[in-house]
Chains A and B, each alone.
Chain A
């Protein structure tokens, strides 16, 4: 049995903090064969990125390998000196980082940044040879007009193009191993699939071993042959991808499988086709705290709908003028283009689109945070743009938002109690005592303990802050809640918890949700109706089942294909 290309034994990585040494990676074992693709899956804080960066000794800040061994191609990496490690990086082990914008130096052009890699890794000895190699690398990475692009700067490229450049750089010296750290999570959904496909082609052509780091179990199973699941610095389960997905044995892995939207959406799809509907309530041996997105979907598909229309968009258009040049001329930009659809009371309508689709703008128009250029928006039958100040004020109490970024949606200088009570104060709800009772009531509804009242946002986690944001939105008992990517920034398990909470609240309080997201998989779980937006227009509008079964436009089909896990048979 030949030695694996990469062999990690009992790896320990620690960071020095104010409170002493904190171990981020606590004894990880890993084997990777040449040409094999291994995925490391975990939530934030699991140590997956840290493990990968430890391999090439690029730990941030005070991080250090404090124990264990990393054997690569016969060499013990942890004992290498600085110069030797420099040799290994790039030439033997390449890396594709996560965020394409922040990983390219903004002050040098692309040609320069690729060329320095080529020269450093001994791929060319003189300028001309280097230039030729640079063009070659960029072409292989999928940039067709490579020569023209050499003198351009990173900010002039789109996200996908930048990532291609980074992939090109990572693979330029034909390394034996490529570490891909969430290479597509910062990109639009349809772009993600293309990039990952391309990456797969390149690495299989060259027989490059790949370590793929991701938080998405579905993606891991689709792209890798082996999966390693990490939790709090340890490996909790590892093995062949398919096996892990179909029969997860460790409770944590089981939770992940139950909570992953991409997997859930496939399961729901397949279940929906089964003749015998009683099987829809499939038993899962999940641990007590596990959340099963299937059951969430169940709750959602029985809406407290009365058929009444809560929100109505008619030919809504929003135009901006972008100043160009020396400030004399300006080009009009249509963010929202003649959008029309209805949202039924008590249901969830998902507004799906990639960046630039206009979905967030539409939400702002509904909340009257911006003024529409033309068309009409009716809430409860009334046109909202003709309201006077006091009418608008009262309308606001019936429509509240929850935003994406849990770290920016709460005022850092107010404690939680005041944050939730603020809408009550603004709308002069009762006296102090009545407000206090209401706040406690809502806290209970969002399952947060009372001790949170005197705390500040920086003391809570992302999921907890989102709950506070939801609590604040519910304070005035609104009818409509606009959720703008409200779960997109959360870890998988937390995300599942919040989705469950939202579904419960909707059933309990008869809320109408406008759910904005780019993730179609989540849509399958939570929405009744779907509107797909692209470049400001609605390209498809139907019930969730219809959109998934029978997508009418190619764009929708692309979005569906992009849900990771397409090639993996759903677990039943």
Chain B
């Protein structure tokens, strides 16, 4: 088991280096004056230009620049936004909000997704199953911003069930609608994964043997079928998180949630490339860590993995 954990952690390191290198490459090695490019369509004032050039040490060889940049990540020096605030401070302020939103979304999509998928799989071919399949297909197809805008319109404006924008401090009840929106696509994915997993597991030999042992459905379904079907759904949390990150950017923008996503969204719209790059870097690293955790969770769920050489 420890071997597996160690190996997984070791694997992250080259990927981490490679990823940061790639992001850096994208920003600074592509054609054009990188600093000017960072300003997008705007014209910078000379002071800003000078500060940026110094910050990114552009007169140094590539490797030094990269290490400088890497060092910045570790020491928390992520540069300053165009409004003058240090990016790291912005991150610290906005991260807790997004964390709450994300956790809420994950709980919704996992619990609802697994339950729906379970019932769907057990009653394959029935009305519930057919509807679940149709609904999930539609949800997967709708781009996140369409879902966000539509829900805001329908539930916020038309029906008035929820606030269209989140209030200051982002209280939990305001976060419910955005959380549902954020969870929607992954919910559909989890439903499908769980459903096909349940169908597959139900046909397995050990399920039949469980019944032959004298166990009833009350025991077999949760203990044997569900437990085994959980594995694909939980491991999908990894890729899931990628969708969540992107979704958060749009959703927070639409619902005005003061989180990491909205900051990124606004930075993108305003063309504040420095902030964009720093945020993307951090989010990517978080994504790497989450994937690592998911792999470990997978090992916890599936004993076969733990003992493989």
Contact = CB atoms under 8 A, between A and B. Distances in A.
Q: A and B: direct contact (Cβ < 8 Å)?
A: yes
Interface in B111-163: none
A120 B214 contact: yes
Given A83-B216, A116-B215, A120-B213, A326 B208 contact: no
A104 B206 contact: yes
A180 B291 CA distance: 45
Contact of B212 (A58, A102, A155, A323): A58
Most interface-central of B224, B231, B301 (chain A CB within 10 A): B224
A543 interface: no
Given A153-B303, A155-B303, A324 B213 contact: no
A97 interface: yes
Contacts of B227: 105, 107-108
Nearest to A97: B209
Interface string B203-219: 11110111111111101
A327 interface: yes
Contacts, number: 97
Interface in A91-118: 91, 94-95, 97, 99, 102-109, 116-117
B309 A95 contact: no
Contact of B214 (A86, A108, A325): A86
Contacts of B208: 58, 60, 97, 103
Contacts of B211: 58, 86, 89
Interface in A222-281: none
Given A103-B206, A106-B302, A325 B212 contact: no
A326 B6 contact: yes
Interface string A143-162: 00000000001011000000
Interface in B228-248: 228, 231
A541 to B, nearest CB: 34
A571 interface: no
Interface in A47-85: 56, 58, 60-61, 82-83
Given A102-B206, A107-B302, A86 B228 contact: no
A354 to B, nearest CB: 23
Most A CB atoms within 10 A — which of B3, B208, B227, B301?
A: B208
A89 B6 contact: no
B99 to A, nearest CB: 30
Nearest to B207: A105
B215 A325 contact: no
Nearest to B6: A326
Given A105-B228, A107-B303, A120 B206 contact: no
Given A60-B203, A173-B214, A166 B219 contact: no
A121 interface: yes
A178 B302 CA distance: 32
B3 A325 contact: yes
A117 B215 contact: yes
B304 A169 contact: no
Interface string B194-208: 000000000111101
B16 interface: no
A322 interface: yes
Contact of B215 (A86, A103, A170): A86
Interface residues of A, number: 40
Interface SS of B by simple majority: helix
Nearest to A93: B212
Nearest to B7: A326
B202 to A, nearest CB: 10
A14 interface: no
B212 A89 contact: yes
B7 A61 contact: no
B174 to A, nearest CB: 39
B63 interface: no
A121 B211 CA distance: 12
Nearest to B231: A107
A104 B212 CA distance: 12
A325 B304 CA distance: 15
A170 B214 CA distance: 10
B303 A106 contact: yes
A116 B213 contact: yes
Given A58-B208, A324-B309, A326-B3, A107 B301 contact: yes
A90 interface: yes
A107 B7 contact: no
Contacts of A86: 211, 214-216
Nearest to A61: B203
A83 B217 CA distance: 10
A155 B214 contact: no
B214 A91 contact: yes
Contacts of B231: 107
A169 B213 CA distance: 7
Contacts of A102: 204-206
Contacts of B204: 102
Contacts of A109: 303
B154 to A, nearest CB: 42
16 contacts: A58-B208, A89-B212, A90-B214, A102-B205, A103-B208, A105-B210, A106-B228, A106-B304, A107-B302, A153-B307, A155-B304, A166-B209, A169-B213, A322-B309, A323-B309, A326-B10
Interface of B: 3, 6-7, 10, 203-206, 208-217, 219, 223-224, 227-228, 231, 301-304, 307, 309
